[in-house]
Amino acid sequence: MTNYDVVVVGAGNAALCAAIAAKEKGAQVLVLERGSVEKRGGNSFFTDGAIRVAYNNLDNIRKLIPEITDKEAEKIVMPEYNYSDFYNDLMRVTEAKSDPILANQLISKSYETISWMANLGIKFELNENQSFEQDGKLHFWGGLPLKTHNKGVGLIQKLFYKAEEIGIEIWYDSRATELMTDNDHITGVLVEKKDKVTMVNASSVILACGSFEANKKMRSENLGEEWEKAIVRGTEFNTGDGIKMALAVGAQKYGQWSGCHSIGTDYNAPKVGDFNKPGDIYKKSSFPLGLMINRNGNRFVDEGADFRNYTYAKYGREVLKQPDNTAFQVFDAKVRPLLRKEYNLEEATYYKADSLEELAQLISVDKDGLLKTIMEYNAAVQEGEYNPTIKDGKGTVGITPPKTNWALRLDQAPYYAYPLTCGITFAFGGLHVNQEGKVLNQGGEPISGLYAAGEMVGGIFYHNYPGGSGLMSGAVFGKLAGTSAAQFSKETLKFHKA
C-alpha cells in the first residue's frame, strides 16, 4: 500500500498540468501512465500543437514568444482575439450548447494559464499555418496564431521534464482500474502494474486519462455502429477507463455523448496513433480551397462554410457517412501550391492526373458523376476577389451544397485527389465538473476528493469544436483541478491531525 496526497490518472497535457499545479501547492503527487515510456503522453503527443487563447494584441503574444524581434513584429498583422471573440466562436460552432459556466472558465483563464505554461518552460511559436503573406506582411486569421514548439511532442517533452524536475513520481505501464471510497469520500485508486494490483491511498484523485474513442464497443454504443469503422487518431489507451471508474462511484454524465471530434484524415493513416510518427501528420486541412467528392462523384459538404478551424472537427463524420466511409479532396494546379504542409509529406496519399476523366479512373470514382458535379460547380462559381485570408464571400449560386467562400473554378491541370477516411480524436461526452474541476454526483454535488480534466470534461463541446480549444481546455482545467486537489489534501490532512 502506497500513500500520496494527489494521484493523477493519465499523463497527457491536462494530467501533467494538473500534477505540476498540485506539486507547486506542496502536494505529494503520483502520475499513472497506462502506456510505456515510449508511448507516454496520450493524445497530446499527436496534436499539431495549435492552442487557442484569448489575447488583446500582438504584444500579448510576444510575451509568450519573446524571440519575436521588433523588426519581425512590424511585418506581422495580428487581429485582436479577445474574450468575446473566443466565447462567440465557441457558442457559434456548438450551436449555443456549450455550458456557459465552463466556457467562461476556459476562456477567462486561458491567457493566465498559457503564461503559466510559458513560465514552466513550454516553448511557443507562431502558427504560420494560420497566416498568409500579403504585401510583405504575415497576416494571421482565425484566432489561432499560437502553437507549441515541435507540436505535441515538444509540449509533452517539456511537461515531463518539468514534472520530473520538481519531483513528481511517474509510474509507467500502470492502469488505474477502480476508485476506492469510504463514506462517499475518495480514498485512493487500484492500479494494475505488470500483472500486480496495488492499492494507492490518496486524499484526492484527478482523472485526466482521456475519452473512450479507442474503445470500439463504447463508440458503437454511444456514437452509433458506423463509428466502429473510424480509425483512432491518437493513443490506443483512451478506452474510457477514467469515465467508467467515475460513473461507478456515482459521477454524473455530462455533455454530448452522441458527439465527437473527428476529421477527414489520410485513408492510409494507421488504425491507431503511431508513436514512431508523432504529430498530426495525416490530417488534411486545406479542404476549403478545393472540393470534397464521394465515390459517386458527388459533393456532400460546403467546403467553404467557414475557416477550416470551425468545420474540420465536424466534417469527419460526414466522410464516415459516405460510401465505403471514403471521400476525396480534389484540387487543381491553381491552388495546389497553397495547400498546407501535410500535403507535401511522404506519408500523404494522393493521385495526380492531367484530366478529370483520368483522375476519376485513378480513384475509382463514378466518372460521369464527377464530371457532372465539377461542370455544375464551375458554372455556379461567382465572380469576385479570391482571398483565403478572410471569408471572401466568393461563392456559388444554384447548387447544393453551395460553396460559400473561396470558390474557384476547378479547371487547370494537373488535378490532384487525396483519399480520406474518418479519424476520431475524442468524444464530446464526459463527466460533469464544476469551475474547480471537481466531479459532480447525480445530485450536482461534488464527490469528495474526485477531480477531472481534459477530454473527460463534458459539456464544453457539442456538434463541433473551435480548433486549438482542446489543449487550452486541458491546461486550464488541469491547472484548476491540480490546485484544487492540493488544497483539498491540505485541508484533509489538517482535519485528521485535529
- Note whether 168 and 19 are within 8 A (CB): yes
Q: What Rg value do the Cα atoms of the chain yield, rounded?
A: 23
Whether the pLDDT of residue 430 is over 90: the answer is: yes
> For residue 497, what pLDDT is reported?
47
* Whether residue 171 sits in one domain with residue 114: yes
- Give the three-state DSSP class for 87: helix
Q: How many residues does the chain have?
A: 498
Of 369, 395, 423, which marks where a domain is finished?
423
* Whether residue 436 sits in one domain with residue 390: no
Of 397, 423, 449, which marks where a domain is finished?
423
User: Among 27-41, 79-93, 480-494, whose mean pLDDT is lowest?
Assistant: 480-494
Whether the pLDDT of residue 318 is over 80: the answer is: yes
> For residue 135, what pLDDT is reported?
87
> For residue 279, what pLDDT is reported?
77
The CATH number covering residue 80 comes to 3.50.50.60
Q: What is the mean pLDDT of residues 290-299?
A: 98
Whether the pLDDT of residue 493 is over 90: the answer is: no
Buried b (16+ CB within 10 A) or exposed e, 56-65: eebebbbebb
Whether the pLDDT of residue 419 is over 60: the answer is: yes
In a domain, 38, yes or no: yes
> For residue 498, what pLDDT is reported?
41
User: Among 169-183, 249-263, 308-322, 427-441, whose mean pLDDT is lowest?
Assistant: 308-322
Instruction: Calculate the alpha carbon distances from 394 to 131, 203, 302, 303, 397 in Å.
Output: 19, 58, 13, 12, 10
- Per-residue confidence at 368, pLDDT binned at 50, 70, 90? very high
> For residue 494, what pLDDT is reported?
57
Determine how many CB atoms are found less than 10 A away from the CB of residue 195: 5
Q: pTM here?
A: 0.94
Q: What is the mean pLDDT of residues 26-55?
A: 97
User: Among 191-200, 273-282, 388-397, whose mean pLDDT is lowest?
Assistant: 273-282
Host H or E run for residue 472: helix 469-497
DSSP assignment of 362-413: HTT--HHHHHHHHHHHHHHBPPS---TTS-----BSS-SS---S------SS
Average pLDDT, the chain: 96
Whether the pLDDT of residue 195 is over 90: the answer is: no
In a domain, 352, yes or no: yes
In a domain, 414, yes or no: yes
Query: Using the 8-state DSSP alphabet, how is residue 232 labeled?
Result: E
In a domain, 280, yes or no: yes
In a domain, 246, yes or no: no
- The contacts of residue 190 (CB under 8 Å, 6+ apart) are 176, 177, 178, 179, 180, 197, 198, 199, 200
> For residue 142, what pLDDT is reported?
86
* Whether residue 192 sits in one domain with residue 310: no
* Whether residue 484 sits in one domain with residue 349: no
* Whether residue 412 sits in one domain with residue 271: yes
Nearest in space to 453 (alpha carbons), one of 15, 54, 11, 138: 15
Host H or E run for residue 121: none
Q: What is the mean pLDDT of residues 166-190?
A: 97
Q: What is the mean pLDDT of residues 319-335?
A: 97
In a domain, 374, yes or no: yes
* Whether residue 384 sits in one domain with residue 449: no
Dist CA 298 CA 370 (whole Å): 6
* Whether residue 472 sits in one domain with residue 371: no
> For residue 491, what pLDDT is reported?
87
In a domain, 160, yes or no: yes
Of 369, 392, 423, which marks where a domain is finished?
423
Give me the domain span that covers residue 161: 2-213+428-497
Q: Which amino acid is at 476?
A: V
Q: What is the mean pLDDT of residues 401-414?
A: 98
**Percent of the chain, pLDDT > 90?**
92
> For residue 389, what pLDDT is reported?
82
- Per-residue confidence at 1, pLDDT binned at 50, 70, 90? low
Dist CA 208 CA 238 (whole Å): 10
In a domain, 75, yes or no: yes
> For residue 141, what pLDDT is reported?
85
How many domains does the chain fold into? 2
* Whether residue 286 sits in one domain with residue 179: no
- The contacts of residue 201 (CB under 8 Å, 6+ apart) are 1, 2, 3, 4, 180, 187, 188
* Whether residue 473 sits in one domain with residue 410: no
* Whether residue 293 sits in one domain with residue 208: no
* Whether residue 132 sits in one domain with residue 18: yes
Q: Which amino acid is at 193?
A: K
Q: Which amino acid is at 367?
A: K
Buried b (16+ CB within 10 A) or exposed e, 71-106: eeeeebebeebbeeebbebbbebbeebbbeebbebb
* Whether residue 285 sits in one domain with residue 192: no
The CATH number covering residue 307 comes to 3.90.700.10
